[in-house]
């Protein structure tokens, strides 16, 4: 078995993870392959205009690309050259047939498994990186090992990185998880993958389990995090009704060391490619095992999240004299969180559509996500996309701040106020601006949970 690594799928997970693995394992060749040639070309671009924005990613790619990290569309060649095959292809929520709206669409995964089998020239270790429903590894192993010439061992090595901090999370992980069959060949395969991470991660942080535990852990971890966000957002509504302040409540609740302060920030609801998909996956799993009350419990996390965006629009409606038609509203931020250009499941998308339904004249500004915003909203006419916040806001009746971009608090808010139609309203859904200062300037200010 050789030490070379191929990763199939050059996306948000595959790209950064393999860049860091290559950096920390200079003696291994790492090849990242994808069917999307445009994406591969961007990873290979001479001016490093990489297909995803992630702080510090470009520095790592500059360090290792062409040395021991390669991006290619030659899946066959890479599978032949490498005995360790990571799979980081997309597994979106299925929108058709059985499990529609809940289960993961595994067609990309399955076709990848079949490709690996077709191209293999020896025994291979297959490592699941994408989030997958529990027992996917078993299904994949069945496909791979059915009348196969070689032995395939399927492991689960879920990725816990968060976008925007991917490189830091990869370099300093809380833990690395490798799940695999508890057989001699399974344990040997687990050790091969543990070795990759042991190049920079302390051994005690590398946890090994059986495959199903690893698969379920990833869903459970994301569901717990998503549940915290929905819990604080559920409290936020109550704060608005009673005069409590959600940030104060969260601070004191989080000061309990059993609860901890992280993931208690009320806001527009969670977005991103993982939380909703993983919770829905968990719901589907619970239902398929007849655990209907557990399914309902987790479904509540998603319902609460959807409700948060509806609440934003209905509060805006009420504050803007029960009519939004023809008013100009500027959305500040479209990415699902700061420091990423990713707009998958972004709450801003839902809010934009709800506002469009009310015939709002919409302008969207975002420092990194405008291209994705244009694609997401391509079916709606009349939306203006503007990089410059000051231009975006000219003549606007309201601003809805959706993403907590770091530079927003230090914009010239007096200048912004002066160029807006009065009364000028700002709905800071991230509670990241200085509300008192905005009120002094003359803004009407709305917040979440205040
Ligand atoms: C998440 C997990 O954190 C990561 O471990 C997993 O591998 C992938 O899914 P990611 O979706 O990139 O990562 O971002 P994360 O920082 O978890 O934020 C998710 C969403 O929750 C964002 O929309 C964010 O704005 C929101 N959020 C987060 C809150 O609204 N409040 C908080 O307190 C924290
Ligand atoms: P993630 O956030 O999980 O990384 P992305 O959508 O960013 O998801 O990336 C997944 C990548 O996998 C995409 O670039 C897609 O083109 C690629 N992909 C999907 N199916 C295949 C396949 N059969 N072979 C190679 N790459 C694939």
Q: Is 233 in the pocket of ligand 1 (CB under 6 A)?
A: no
pLDDT classification of 355: cutoffs 50, 70, 90: very high
| Best CA proximity match to 88, nearest among 30, 158, 141, 140 | 158
Residue 166 CA, closest ligand 1 atom number: 12
Spatial separation of the C-alpha atoms in residues 353 and 449, rounded to whole Å: 23
User: What is the C-alpha to C-alpha distance for residues 448 and 438, in angstroms, rounded to an integer?
Assistant: 16
Strand order in the sheet with 444-447: 384-385, 361-365, 328-332, 398-401, 425-428, 444-447
Residues 92-110, mean pLDDT to the nearest whole number: 81
Q: What percent of the chain has pLDDT over 70?
A: 100
Token pair, residue 428, equals: 């800071």
Flag whether pLDDT at 100 surpasses 90: no
Residues 155, 124: contact at Cβ < 8 Å? no
Is residue 178 pLDDT above 80, yes or no? yes
Provide the pLDDT for residue 159: 93
Span of 194-198, 216-220, 411-415 with lowest mean pLDDT? 216-220
Q: Could you confirm whether 274 is annotated as catalytic?
A: yes
Confidence of residue 138 (pLDDT cuts 50, 70, 90): confident
Q: Where in the chain is the domain with CATH 3.40.50.720?
A: 5-209, 210-450
Q: Whose C-alpha lies nearest to ligand 1, atom 22?
A: 270
- Which of these is catalytic: 7, 274, 286, 432? 274
pLDDT of residue 130: 80
Contact (CB, 8 A) for 397 and 425 = yes
Alpha-carbon distance of 231 to 254, in angstroms, equals 13
Verify whether ligand 2 is closer than 6 Å to residue 79 (CB atom): no
pLDDT higher than threshold 80 for residue 345? yes
Give the pLDDT band (50/70/90) at residue 260. very high
Q: Express each pLDDT in 8-52 by its tens digit.
A: 999 999 999 999 999 999 999 999 999 999 999 999 999 999 999
Of residues 90, 135, 105, the one with CA closest to residue 285: 135
Give every CB contact of residue 350 below 8 A, 6+ residues apart in sequence: 306, 309
**18 CB within 6 A, ligand 2:** no
| Domain 210-450, second-level architecture | 3-Layer(aba) Sandwich (3.40)
For the whole model, what pTM was predicted? 0.93
Ligand that lies nearest to the alpha carbon of residue 131, given by its number in the listed order: 2
What pLDDT was estimated at residue 112? 92
Q: Cβ(11) to ligand 2 under 6 A?
A: yes
Question: In sequence order, what are the residues at sequence separation of 6 or more whose Cβ sits closer than 8 angstroms to the Cβ of residue 282?
Answer: 219, 220, 223, 298
Test site for ligand 2: of 90, 107, 164, most ligand atoms within 8 A of the Cβ: 90
Confidence band for 90, pLDDT divided at 50, 70 and 90: confident
CA geometry: angle 29, 205, 227, nearest 5 deg? 105
Q: How confident is the model at residue 132 (pLDDT cuts 50, 70, 90)?
A: confident
Domain 5-209 top-level CATH class? alpha beta
d(Cα 430, Cα 155) in Å, to the nearest integer? 39
Per-residue pLDDT reduced to its tens digit, 179-211: 999 999 999 999 999 999 999 999 999 999 999
pLDDT in the model for residue 261? 97
Kindly state the greatest CA–CA separation across the chain: 74
Instruction: Check residue 278 and give its pLDDT.
Output: 92
| Pocket flag, ligand 1, residue 274 (CB < 6 Å) | yes
Calculate mean pLDDT across residues 380-398.
97
């Amino acid at each position: 078995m050789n030490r070379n690594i191929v990763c199939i799928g050059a996306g948000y997970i595959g790209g950064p993870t393999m860049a860091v693995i290559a950096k920390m394992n200079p003696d291994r060749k790492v090849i990242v392959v994808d069917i999307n040639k445009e994406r591969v070309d961007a990873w290979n671009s001479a001016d490093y205009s990489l297909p995803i924005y992630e702080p510090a990613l470009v520095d790592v790619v500059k360090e290792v690309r062409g040395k021991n990290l390669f991006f290619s569309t030659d899946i066959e060649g890479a599978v032949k050259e490498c005995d360790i095959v990571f799979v980081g292809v997309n597994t979106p929520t299925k929108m058709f047939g059985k499990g529609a709206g809940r289960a993961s669409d595994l067609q990309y995964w399955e076709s990848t498994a079949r490709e690996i089998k077709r191209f293999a020239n020896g025994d291979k270790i297959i490592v699941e990186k994408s989030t997958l429903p529990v027992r996917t590894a078993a299904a994949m192993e069945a496909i791979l090992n059915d009348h196969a010439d070689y032995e395939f061992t399927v492991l689960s090595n879920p990725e816990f990185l968060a976008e925007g901090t991917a490189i830091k999370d990869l370099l300093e992980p809380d833990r690395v998880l490798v799940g695999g069959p508890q057989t001699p060949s399974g344990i040997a395969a687990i050790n091969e993958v543990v070795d990759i991470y042991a190049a920079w991660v302390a051994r005690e942080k590398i946890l090994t389990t059986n495959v199903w535990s690893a698969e379920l852990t990833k869903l459970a971890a994301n569901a717990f995090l998503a549940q915290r966000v929905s819990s604080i957002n559920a409290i936020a509504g109550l704060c608005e009704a009673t005069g409590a302040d959600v940030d104060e409540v969260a601070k004191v609740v989080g000061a309990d060391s059993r609860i901890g302060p992280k993931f208690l920030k009320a806001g527009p609801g969670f977005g991103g490619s993982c939380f909703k998909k993983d919770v829905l996956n968990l719901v589907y799993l619970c239902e398929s095992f007849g655990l209907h009350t557990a399914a309902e419990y987790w479904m509540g996390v998603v319902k609460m999240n959807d409700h948060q965006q509806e609440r934003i629009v209905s509060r805006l409606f009420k504050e803007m004299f029960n009519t939004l038609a023809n008013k100009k509203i500027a959305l500040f931020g479209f990415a699902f969180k700061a420091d990423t250009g990713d707009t998958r499941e972004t709450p801003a998308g839902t809010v934009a559509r709800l506002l469009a339904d009310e015939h709002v004249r919409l302008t969207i500004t975002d420092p990194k996500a405008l291209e994705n915003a244009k694609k997401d909203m391509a079916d709606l006419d009349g939306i203006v996309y503007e990089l410059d916040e000051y231009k975006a806001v000219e003549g606007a009746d309201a601003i809805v701040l959706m993403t907590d971009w770091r530079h927003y608090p230090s914009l010239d808010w007096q200048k912004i106020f002066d160029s807006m139609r009065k009364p000028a309203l700002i709905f800071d859904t991230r509670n990241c601006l200085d509300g008192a200062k905005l009120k002094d300037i003359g803004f009407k200010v709305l917040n979440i949970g205040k």
